[in-house]
Structure 1
Amino acid sequence: MTEKLDTAQKQNDVTKIVACPTCKKSVKWDQDNIFRPFCCKRCKLIDLGEWASEGHKIAGEKSMFVDDDSSGEF
């Protein structure tokens, strides 16, 4: 049982470092970083803005759905 605890402790001691997707700054990947994978709130909001303005897109086939609000029908 102590082996399991030792293994868990070793895994917790290793902190993964990743690059912020927005500014590429090194960021700790741990529970204390509330903005992960981003380095800060600003970078997180910049990324959200890119998605909202369709600057980021997920590749895939074009949708057959047509949004036609001019008909007045549901």
Structure 2
Amino acid sequence: MEPKSDKPRIVPCPSCGGDSVFAPSNRWRPFCSERCREHDLGAWASESFRVQAAPPTEDQDLPH
């Protein structure tokens, strides 16, 4: 087993791409800041981000 490193893990911020500390000390992880976290939440809320899905078929519209 490898010894645990004291060096924090740095990951890219999903919003801006900058460095983000991925550790409990970063309250906005995986984001680098509250601003980036809020920007991402706003994009989901305004439906800028969408999950692709096939349109429902007639069979899926009927109650079971």
CA deviations 1:22-61 (Å, max 9, x no partner) are: 1111111101000001111111000000000101112233
Aligned-residue sequence identity (percent) comes to 34
Distance in 2, Cα, partners of 1:37 & 1:21: 7
**1:61 aligned onto 2:28:** no
Structure 1, gaps ≥5 residues long: 66-74
Q: TM-score, normalised by structure 2?
A: 0.72
RMSD: 2.0
**1:21 aligned onto 2:9:** no
Amino acid at match of 2:8: T
Amino acid at match of 2:36: C
Higher RCO (Cα < 8 Å, 6 or more apart) = 2
Q: TM-score, normalised by structure 1?
A: 0.64
Give the total of aligned pairs.
Answer: 58
